[in-house]
A = this chain, B = another copy of it.
Amino acid sequence: MTHFTLGWILIGALIVGSSANAAGPGGDYPVQPVPFTRVSVQDDFWRPRLETNRTVTIPYDFRQCEATGRIDNFAKAGGLMEGKFQGIRFDDSDVFKIIEGAAYSLALHPDPWLDSYLDRLIAKIAAAQEDDGYLYTARTIDPQNPASGAGPTRWSNLKDSHELYNVGHLYEAAVAHYQATGKRSLLDVALKNAGLICEVFGPGKLCEVPGHQEIEIGLVKLYRITGDPKYLRQAKFFLDMRGRSGLRTIWGEYCQDHKPVVEQSEATGHAVRAVYMYSGMADVAALTQDPSYIEAIQRIWEDVVYAKMYLTGGIGSRSGGEAFGADYELPNKTAYNETCAAIANLLWNHRLFLLTGDSQYIDVFERTLYNGFLSGVSLTGDLFFYPNPLESDGSYKRSPWFDCSCCPSNVARFIPSIPGYVYARKDDSIYVNLFLQGEASIPLAGQAIRLRQATRYPWDGRVRITVHTAAPVEFTLRVRVPGWARNRPVPGDLYTYVDEPAGPVLLSVNRTSMVPPLEQGYFLLRRVWADGDTVELDLPMPVRRVQCHAKVAENRGKVALERGPVVYCAEWVDNNPGLDRVTIPGNMTFETVFRKYMLGGVVVIRGSVARDEPSRAREDVIIPDITLIPYFAWAHRGEGAMKVWLPVSLSPSPIWLEEIVLPKKTG
């Protein structure tokens, strides 16, 4: 089980994707991400969040796992302590996900205490593993009477047991821990378990699939780090068997098991299961160059983005089944939008970008990142949202934990990975996807190109990129021009801007203005770059009203406000005497102000209407008619109402009040 050659293993922590020298027989993503370990963040927006995750969320999440028995379950399964299984059968996965986050933290911040804590925690996990590699405390603690939903015997209830889901997260954690520390302790556990999975499941063996996808992603990571193709084959097996397994008629759309994956064209069922699956399909497609996979997930992507995604990038509108709804079924108050589904959307869109080099996927990624994902964790790092609705009557609030706490542990592992999504590379092109002050070191043409970004993004659209290189080198810098700056909030017509753009996107190189060619949403800057060369990008950031496709009944006669990548909302606390009375008249004008000490530092939008007749009762209102804050920052100031979509009022009758019926775009 352990005689593979670790000499294959990558140097450096690659969190998503791989570099060319680790590619399997079928190649890999044509675009390769620049890993987070090569990107330092030095801004006032993400750096505090990364630090909060490191110093608050990760230890806090571990504490919650201690307090709720999640960690004792491993000790119990390993015979280190007495007691019954506590919690829910998939609780093991939370511990794995936090270990993954802690490993990312360790990769950048040496911390002997955390390192040693992980060692001792991993020793418990190893103890909990059965001799043949099986790892699932919900059964091991009491095989005769396993935890509810685990099924009477191994693999007997794969739809609900999460036996394969849990270990998918184990694999991801193990790879991260190995890459951060060089220690094989958790990797050995993972490989032993994966060996068992490969022996049990496969053609001519058990032909079943996980009810909750995730193991596919984990297996691909094991393949990349070991180079052993059996893990990749196993991932592809689990995908290819969907819609073909014996239980297909029972599992159905909820588990994306209603038809073979390459025949699917709509997002259905449980959103996290679905989008983890699409992400796994992207990985396998990249590594096997299977065009039918790529076509399927691009079809499904259009289905999601054109008709099933919230303005915030949130997906999965139904709480029943935590599922995708029908086309245009996008209710605001009851929007489910699980934080984990937002993370899945991030993982998936990044992979589609790596497959295609197309910035439309980064547009969706960025929208999800700054809005539907970021809302899921409080500024303090220890309160969380599970659903992320777009409207609240005031009865909804952030929670310190959940019985099913997939979201807090997913936040812990996703946040430290964010710097890994900023840059990418393909041949002699460097992609600049996200704007974030800091520095990156990117290997290219035998040297390390240093790129330095100076920007106040997302509060200001000006970005200065300085190139540092030991010797002049020719390459193409691909600078993303966000869809929101090109009059396209999202691909498709689900959301469109009411207002005209404020002005053109400006770009200069070494202070000389230019209009470079635009390809796949990127400005192409090809030249021999010398040390100190500077690119300045200026993305105008007016406040813009967005309208929604008329088929979304609930949003008719309403607009939302955006500025740059940030979606705004009106919260009770800024808008007395009540959100019910807040409207956006057609002649409302907006101003913005940066409030350094409000909600961690945010740009606030204030809207007001000039009045022709001087009204003594109104003219001296110090505050404008409405005040909006970034959606991600809501629910930090007590409980109260919130709305993203606000009714339009007054004539002249705005175009967005008319019913616009356009055919739904299809791929």
Contacts and interface: CB of A to CB of B under 8 A. Distances in A.
A474 interface: no
Given A80-B616, A400-B640, A598-B52, A59 B623 contact: yes
Interface string A426-470: 000000000000000000000000000000000000000000000
Interface stretch (A197-205, A377-385, A484-492): A377-385
A291 interface: no
B595 A56 contact: yes
Nearest to A69: B577
B120 A620 contact: yes
Interface stretch (A60-68, A185-193, A318-326, A351-359): A60-68
Contacts of A530: none
A97 to B, nearest CB: 15
Contacts of A400: 573, 637-638, 640
Indicate how many identical chains form the complex: 2
A597 interface: yes
Given A55-B596, A63-B623, A383-B637, 15 more contacts: A51-B596, A51-B597, A52-B598, A56-B595, A56-B597, A63-B622, A66-B621, A72-B617, A75-B616, A80-B617, A81-B617, A120-B619, A380-B598, A400-B637, A400-B640
Contacts of A619: 120
Interface residues of A, number: 53
Contacts of A574: 60, 63
Contacts of A62: 622-623
Closest 8 CB pairs of A and B: A67-B576, A120-B620, A52-B597, A117-B622, A63-B623, A67-B577, A51-B597, A62-B622
A247 B133 CA distance: 87
B616 A55 contact: no
Given A55-B596, A598-B381, A638 B398 contact: yes
A114 B622 contact: yes
A121 interface: yes
Interface of A: 48, 51-52, 55-56, 59-60, 62-64, 66-68, 71-72, 75, 80-81, 113-114, 117, 120-121, 124, 378, 380-383, 397-400, 573-574, 576-577, 595-599, 616-617, 619-623, 636-638, 640
Nearest to A384: B638
A124, A596, A623, most chain B CB atoms within 10 A: A623
A571 to B, nearest CB: 10
Contacts of A56: 595, 597-598
Contacts of A383: 637-638
A23 B325 CA distance: 76
A573 B382 contact: yes
Contacts of A398: 638
A640 B401 CA distance: 12
Nearest to A633: B380
Contact of A576 (B63, B381, B599, B640): B63
